[in-house]
Amino acid sequence: MLLYFIDNDIIIELASYKLLGETMASFNLTYKDKAVRVLPSASSYINGHPDLRKKFTQGTLQLAKDRADSYEKIDKSLIDQSEGSEYQSLIAIENIDPGEAFLVAATEYEPKFYILTCYKKFLKALSKSN
């Protein structure tokens, strides 16, 4: 099965332009689709990050949170976070934050996947990593 690993910030950005549903539909995904994976912290990040409340409306954040709540959470126990792991290697790279590293590490045993993000710096850093 093809899986979609989605970063918190793209959920919020798409919700702010009312494009979240349309974007998921373009991938033939539905609301509550089991093929979509989000970070375990997605809801709490969207709901509790003070900078987000300054930048986005409450309606945008509520839509983003509702969507994040509807998708499957990445199982933390499946991610090797020990020293020397892929996750640890990734967070050591400039411009890759722990959430993005977690998304990449979650794909380790998945043969078919997409990672959806809105950060070019992360993508550039990832392309230069091993």
Burial class of residue 55 (count of CB atoms within 10 Å of its CB; 0-12, 13-18, 19+): exposed
What pTM, to 2 d.p., does this model score? 0.90
pLDDT in tens, 88-127: 999 999 999 999 999 999 999 999 999 999 888 998 998 8
pLDDT in tens, 70-79: 999 999 998 9
User: Which three-class secondary structure state does DSSP give residue 22?
Assistant: helix
Give the full edge-to-edge strand order of the sheet including 36-38. Answer: 72-73, 36-38, 3-6, 113-116
